[in-house]
Amino acid sequence: MKDASPQTIYLADYTVPAYHVDSVHLTFQLHPTATRVTSKIAFRPNPESADRAFYLHGEHMKLISARIDGQPVDVSLTPDGLTADVPDAPFIWEAEVEIDPQSNTALEGLYLSNGMFCTQCEAEGFRRITYYPDRPDVMSVFTVRIMSDLPVLLSNGNPTDSGDGWAEWHDPWPKPAYLFALVAGDLVAHSDSFTTSEGRDVALNIYVRADDIDKCAFGMEALKASMVWDERVYGRAYDLDIFNIVAVDDFNMGAMENKGLNIFNSSAVLASPETATDANFERIEAIIAHEYFHNWTGNRITCRDWFQLCLKEGLTVFRDQQFTADTRDPAVARINDVNALRGRQFREDAGPLSHAVRPDSFVEINNFYTATIYEKGAEIIRMLMTILGEEDYYKGLTEYFDRHDGQAVTIEDFFACFGDDDPRLAGFSRWWHQSGTPHVTIEQAWQGSELTLTARQETPPSAQQQHKEALPIPLAVGLIDADGRDLTPTSVLMLNDTTQSWTIDTRTTTPAWRDTNASASDQQNSDASDAPTLSLNRGFAAPIILHADQSENDLLRLMAHDSDTFSAWEAGRTLALNTLGDMARGIKTPSDAYVDAWCLSLRSEDRAPAFRALASALPSTMDIATHLKSQGHTPDPQAIYDARETLSQQFAEAAQDSLQRLFAQHQVTQSYRPDAEQSGKRALCGRILGLITRLDGGAEAAKQHANADNMTSQLTALGCLIGTEHATKSLEAFYQQWAHERLVIDKWFGIQIGQAAPADASKVAKFLTEHEAFNVKNPNRFRATLGALAANTAGFHTAGGSGYALLADWLITLDGINPQTTARMTSAFETWAMWDSARGEKMRVEMKRILSTPNLSSDTTEMITRILG
């Protein structure tokens, strides 16, 4: 068990490690219930530390023996480690411990997954393997000997020697313990090779169970593309002779960037056209890139302490977003990024879990692998690039790699590489320290042909930070005329103060913005229909909530014509939010102009199918609820659900005449490729099939479901059929067809719950938790079931509270098995204050019930306590 009274850890308390580690030798004698780990570690007192206390982390293990410089030593065991008296000079520590991988259901440290030994050491899993100073600023060179009868024995670095029943690995690059990895199993490899720009030949392998060998080719291509991209764009080449990826069925997160031995959740690497959807392929490509890019941003340069987590995660997410934008359609990629940011990070930042990208304190670091640290962290790097321009951005990055290679550093070290005193970056570091999403209100005023734009920013106070300062916000602004032509190129206006104004004379030949002090308030809004229209926050250059109060006409113009594809989508989304919000409140029906524009956009040959698929989708129930809340209304999830249904039906009827034609026109006839072009067409056809189903009761979808030769088409059709008379038969057929494929059965669980009508969702979820294929110990299956319930907003938030109770029951059960996944899933309750008081209270009651569970983990305790506030 963990320490019973978890401590809050403060950034301000950081001190350098008392000892350096010069080398680590580990020997593993693998056994399912009694693995012996022998360590031989060379310690050296750190002259920069005044502290001589010798402390090693260690949990969940039995100490067999300990020696210093060959002599047995007495140690004092603490609940989470040990202390000992040590010489005041370099010394060799040797210890033997015993651990039990089989009973390790937490999936941290060394554990067993379907007979395969594997490890997860980030953030603090290594301390479950042996006694060690388990902190990221202790970096060392590791040599690892694995003894086991299993045929494949892997660790970090390069293989150095092997024999019957053993293998040895050596990693020449100093690394913190969180990047340690070991795998042993009955595995087969999909192999390839790569020659780096520096001329190094690298062996590439994806290790999987034999059944999965046909699902590795795409991942391998993605890996090679990532290697090429990082050399081309960031000048970073790979640095070992071998790069291994292993697919594991039981894994808490997506994947892990262990040096030279990435371990992946099988859902984040295995794919074949028959078993994986286009969205799966795209996610796999992004995660492979992400983990590979960590080799430089995370591994070669790592974090000094866990408060700096965004240093590696925000930067690496930004790099994987750039890679996806380069590999696929950049506008579509950006829309997907922003949808994810709003859906997870804005939501987090608006509630009780709001925290800074670089927090000042935490209890359980595992609870800080958040959307804020990852996604907002990436947005900050994006803004850095927007403000500095590409050339200076890459110059700063090169400086960072040159200056800090081999070190464990801080956000300040990173930021200093861009020139501490660059006036363009004044105040920029606040983005890392201040939590909350800034609201920016835009007013426009016309005087003749002159337009004055006034921007005002405000970040609402949050529980941990009452006072918020103005942030430097890059506002990317365009101006388009009545025919939709750009009057100016996109201009980046820097909003540094609380309020600022800029003026532009729209009649000059090359209109340009200039700073003004003019207040917009005494001037007139233009109501001339031929006045130019502002296109705001183009490309979502800043992660802000914009209040621009643009007219329906302006939004329709932007939706149809904006040269910034992201902003065209954004205008359509704003129109949809306004419409659905009003419908949910029962105060308005959709305007004809909006419905016509939506039909036009579905048919528009000028835009890529992938874009049209996104543009024709309605904002999520949660997005609409958030929108209503920001307008001061209490959202009713059922009313929002009904509004979405009504509008979708209206769209289907309005577009009726063109649906079959569009559906036929965009069918993919070539053999399956998961690339941007084909997947865009399938996404559009999927949208259209949803509309057709509203009109034909599912006949077309049932046909597609029965005949599909790829998972995207099959699953899309199955999703359409839920709620129709074809549902039961199709779900049964799907299960029979795919019962042997775990990742496909996860989809089967997820789609039934995710697409269930509100009144059915928790009943379906409960029924499926009793299904023979449900497995509480497998995080993917648990998420596919209970996570899908939480994501079905109207279904989870039914007025009776059955969704809340079911989730709470299962989180209580899971906590004793896997605290990390339990804690992450408590965020389903983070929106309690958004709903009416009856719902909010029911959510609080369930959270208190969880909290009162005897022996609740510190992970879950921290999360629930923070959410309750």
Give catalytic status of residue 399 as yes or no.
Answer: no
In eight-state DSSP terms, residue 672 is P
CA-atom Rg of the chain in angstroms: 28
Q: Which stretch binds ligand 0A1 (CB under 6 A): 83-91, 251-259, 419-427, 731-739?
A: 251-259
Residues 660, 663, 664, 666, CA torsion sign: positive
- The one of ligand 0A1, Zn ion, none whose footprint includes residue 120, by CB under 5 to 8 A per kind, is ligand 0A1
Q: Smaller CB distance to ligand 0A1: residue 254 or 484?
A: 254
Which of residues 366, 367, 501, 537 is near ligand 0A1 by CB under 6 A? 366
Q: Closer to ligand 0A1 at the Cβ: 58 or 136?
A: 136
Q: Which stretch binds Zn ion (CB under 5 A): 235-243, 312-320, 671-679, 759-767?
A: 312-320
What are the helix and strand counts (H, E) for the chain?
A: 30, 32
Q: How far apart are CA 30 and CA 34, in angstroms?
A: 7
* Cβ atoms 203, 242 nearer than 8 A: yes
Q: In this chain, which stretch among 37-45, 248-256, 273-281, 830-838 interacts with ligand 0A1, using CB under 6 A? A: 248-256
The residue (of 168 and 282) whose beta carbon lies closer to Zn ion is: 282
Binding partner at 75 among ligand 0A1, Zn ion, none, C-beta below 5 to 8 Å by kind: none
Of 19 and 178, which CB lies nearer to ligand 0A1 in the complex structure? 178
Contact flags string 576-615 toward Zn ion, x per CB under 5 A:
----------------------------------------
| Residue 313 or 329 having the CB closest to Zn ion | 313
Sheet with 439-447: strands ordered across: 514-516, 499-505, 450-458, 439-447, 545-547
Task: Identify which of 369, 394, 365 has the alpha carbon closest to the alpha carbon of residue 381.
Answer: 394
Q: Which does 369 bind (CB under 5 to 8 A by kind): ligand 0A1, Zn ion, none?
A: ligand 0A1
Binders of ligand 0A1 in range 508-567 (CB under 6 A): none
* CA distances, 54 to each of 57, 408, 464 (Å): 10, 21, 34
Closest separation in Å from C-beta 693 to ligand 0A1: 37
Q: How far is the CB of 256 from ligand 0A1 (least distance, A)?
A: 4
3 state SS for 455-481: EEEECCCECCECCCCCCCEEEEEEEEC
Least separation in angstroms between residue 774's CB and Zn ion is 30
In the complex, the smallest distance separating the C-beta of residue 351 from ligand 0A1, rounded to whole angstroms, is 22
Residue 118 Cβ vs ligand 0A1, minimum distance, rounded to whole Å: 12
**Contact string (CB under 6 A) for ligand 0A1, positions 258-297, x = contact:** --------------------------------xx------
Task: For CA atoms 680, 681, 686, 688, give the dihedral sign.
Answer: positive
Of 311 and 332, CB closest to ligand 0A1: 311
| Residue with smallest beta-carbon separation from ligand 0A1 | 253
Question: What does 366 bind: ligand 0A1, Zn ion, none (CB cut-off 5 to 8 Å by kind)?
Answer: ligand 0A1
Q: What is the DSSP letter of 595?
A: H
Structure token pair of residue 130: 């042996």
The neighbour count for residue 317, using CB atoms within 10 Å, is 25
Report the residue number, 120 or 336, with the smaller CB distance to ligand 0A1.
120
Strand boundaries in 459-552, DSSP class E: 473-480, 491-495, 499-505, 514-516, 533-535, 545-547
Which is the catalytic residue, given 291, 313, 830, 862?
A: 291
Distances (CA, A) of 773 to 190, 397, 769, 784: 29, 48, 8, 12
Q: How many residues does the chain have?
A: 869
258 binds, among ligand 0A1, Zn ion, none (CB under 5 to 8 A by kind): none
How many residues of this chain bind ligand 0A1 (CB under 6 A)?
Answer: 14
Cα–Cα nearest to 28, from 178, 123, 167: 167
Using the contact rule CB under 5 A, the part of the chain among 309-317, 359-367, 793-801, 820-828 near Zn ion is 309-317
From start to end of 127-269, where are the E strands?
140-147, 152-155, 158-163, 166-175, 182-185, 188-195, 201-208, 242-248, 255-256, 261-265
Contacts of 782 (CB under 8 A, 6+ apart): 775, 776, 810, 814, 821, 825
Site for ligand 0A1 in 7-26 (CB under 6 A): none
Give the interface segment with Zn ion, choosing from 310-318, 646-654, 659-667, 719-727 (CB under 5 A): 310-318
CA distance 562 to 541: 16
Of 578 and 818, CB closest to ligand 0A1: 818
Task: Give min distance, CB of 284 to ligand 0A1, in A.
Answer: 13
Residue type at position 203: A
Instruction: Rank residues 302 and 778 by Cβ distance to Zn ion and give the closer one.
Output: 302
For residue 134, the minimal CB distance to ligand 0A1 (Å) is 13
Stretch that binds ligand 0A1, among 246-254, 442-450, 698-706, 853-861 (CB under 6 A): 246-254
Cα separation of 564 and 331, whole Å?
8
Residue 6's binding partner out of ligand 0A1, Zn ion, none, with CB under 5 to 8 Å set by partner kind:
none
In the complex, the smallest distance separating the C-beta of residue 257 from ligand 0A1, rounded to whole angstroms, is 6
Q: Quick one: DSSP state of residue 620?
A: P
- Tokens coding 514: 């200039």
Cα–Cα distance for residue pair 234/315, rounded to 1 Å: 12
DSSP E strands: which ranges in 196-275?
201-208, 242-248, 255-256, 261-265
Q: How far is the CB of 371 from Zn ion (least distance, A)?
A: 13
Q: Segment near Zn ion (CB under 5 A), from 306-314, 420-428, 677-685, 745-753?
A: 306-314
Footprint of ligand 0A1 on 117-136 (CB under 6 A): 120, 122-123
Per-residue tokens: 101: 């991988």
- The residue from 369, 394, 401, 735 that contacts ligand 0A1 (CB under 6 A) is 369
* Between 366 and 678, CB nearer to ligand 0A1: 366
Does 253 participate in binding ligand 0A1 (rule CB under 6 A)? yes
> Which one of 206, 227, 255, 765 is in contact with ligand 0A1 (CB under 6 A)?
255
Q: Which residues face 167 on adjacent strands?
A: 146, 162
Least separation in angstroms between CB 369 and ligand 0A1: 5
- Interface characters, 300-339, with ligand 0A1 (x: CB under 6 A): -------------x--------------------------
Q: How would DSSP label each residue in 265-333?
A: EGGGT---TTT--HHHHHHHHHHHHHHHHTTTBTTTBEESSGGGHHHHHHHHHHHHHHHHHHHS-HHHH
Which amino acid belongs to residue 510? T
Say if CB 305 and CB 14 are below 8 A apart: yes
Query: What is the C-alpha separation between 724 and 589, in angstroms, rounded?
Result: 26
Long-range contacts at 696-704 (CB < 8 A, ≥ 24 apart) = 697/724, 697/725, 698/724, 698/725, 698/726, 700/663, 701/726, 702/726, 702/730
Closer Cβ to Zn ion, 212 or 375, answer by number: 375
Specify the DSSP class assigned to residue 187: -
Toward ligand 0A1, which CB reaches closer, 136 or 803?
136
Pick between residue 375 and residue 746 the one whose CB is nearest to ligand 0A1. 375
Partner in contact with 252, chosen from Zn ion, ligand 0A1, none, beta carbon below 5 to 8 Å by kind: ligand 0A1
Q: Name which of Zn ion, ligand 0A1, none residue 256 binds, using a CB cut-off of 5 to 8 Å depending on partner kind.
A: ligand 0A1
Q: How far is the CB of 265 from Zn ion (least distance, A)?
A: 13
Residues identified as active-site: 291
What does the binding site for Zn ion look like in residue numbers (CB under 5 A)? 313, 316
What does the binding site for ligand 0A1 look like in residue numbers (CB under 6 A)? 120, 122-123, 252-257, 290-291, 313, 366, 369
